[in-house]
Amino acid sequence: MGRVILVSSPKGGTGKSAISRHLLVCAQTAGLDAVGVDFDPQRSFSKWASAREAQRRVRFPDQIETKVYEATFKDWRSGFVQASGASLGIVDTPPNVESAVSEMGQMSESADLVLVPCGCTTDDLDSVEPWILALQSRGVKPIVVLNKANSRVLSFKKIRSRFLAIGEVCPVELPNLEDFHTFSAAGMTLLDTQKSRGRDPVIDLWQFVSRSVGLVPA
Ligand SMILES: Nc1ncnc2c1ncn2[C@@H]1O[C@H](COP(=O)(O)OP(=O)(O)OP(=O)(O)O)[C@@H](O)[C@H]1O
Ligand SMILES: [Mg+2]
């Protein structure tokens, strides 16, 4: 069985899909047989993968290939079978965890790693903190990934301290960079260009998560 990374956060727009896409491209680039699984009915992850495949066929034949399956909470085990059938499965989920508390809980317990992307505002904290505590009460050890972060400002340090007081925080935070969203429209990531300033933190995040699940990058 392969490893599964679940990306979950009750707060919308915290970067679940963006992080899922980037980790999938990192994993494929490292030579792993990785797949994405998209549980969000809005299908941001799988639509991105379709756009990527279309671009790859027409314009960028050398671009790293990705495969993203669509799944539903009703049949979450099938989605998990697809994720764990590869050497690494990256599972993107929707923000409305309340509508599938039981399924999300079971999926979190089944995953090798649960990443919880979070912005660096009090609103993000207020939404995400109860979810961290709920996961912990099930024996899961989620790791908060601070996203769209400005590590120099006081609010970032305060939010980080609050999360450190209750659980684990990823040592890599992702800065707020245009490239994260501008590249995604064409099914790309900022890893598909050598020029982006965002490459280093994304690669650092990949190093962290791949080691956390016991995969040493090729
Ligand atoms: N570090 C970042 N810097 C700049 N933009 C970012 C960053 N991370 C994500 N984004 C952008 O922010 C928007 C929201 O991100 P994304 O869609 O990944 O969030 P999400 O948590 O999946 O949202 P939802 O809860 O609606 O599924 C997207 O346009 C994405 O490209
Ligand atoms: Mg999303």
Model-level pTM?
A: 0.97
Residue nearest atom 23 in ligand 1 by C-alpha distance? 13
Is 67 among the domain residues? Answer: yes
Domain encompassing residue 115: 3-212
With cut-offs at 50, 70 and 90, classify the pLDDT of residue 109: very high
Q: pLDDT of 180-215, one tens digit each? A: 888 888 899 999 888 888 899 999 999 999 999 999
Is 90 among the domain residues? Answer: yes
Is 152 among the domain residues? Answer: yes
Give the nearest ligand 1 atom to 184 CA: 31
> What distance in Å separates the CA atoms of residue 48 and residue 184, rounded to the nearest whole number?
7
What is the model's pLDDT at position 200? 94
Instruction: Report, as an integer, the average pLDDT of 114-143.
Output: 97
How many domains does the chain contain in total? 1
Give the nearest ligand 1 atom to 149 CA: 1
Q: Which residues line the pocket of ligand 1, CB cutoff 6 A?
A: 9, 12-18, 40, 44, 94-95, 147-148, 174, 176-177, 180-181, 184
Domain at 62, CATH number: 3.40.50.300
Is 217 among the domain residues? Answer: no
Instruction: Report, as an integer, the average pLDDT of 109-114.
Output: 98
Residue 218 has pLDDT above 60, yes or no: no
Q: pLDDT of 15-68, one tens digit each? A: 999 999 999 999 999 999 999 999 999 999 999 999 999 999 998 888 899 999
Radius of gyration of the chain (CA): 16
Is 218 among the domain residues? Answer: no
> What distance in Å separates the CA atoms of residue 133 and residue 139, rounded to the nearest whole number?
10
Q: pLDDT of 165-174, one tens digit each? A: 999 999 999 9
Is 206 among the domain residues? Answer: yes
Q: Which residues surround ligand 2, an ion (CB under 5 A)?
A: 16-17, 44
Is 125 among the domain residues? Answer: yes
Within 99-198, residue ranges assigned H as helices are: 101-110, 122-137, 154-166, 178-182
Is 115 among the domain residues? Answer: yes
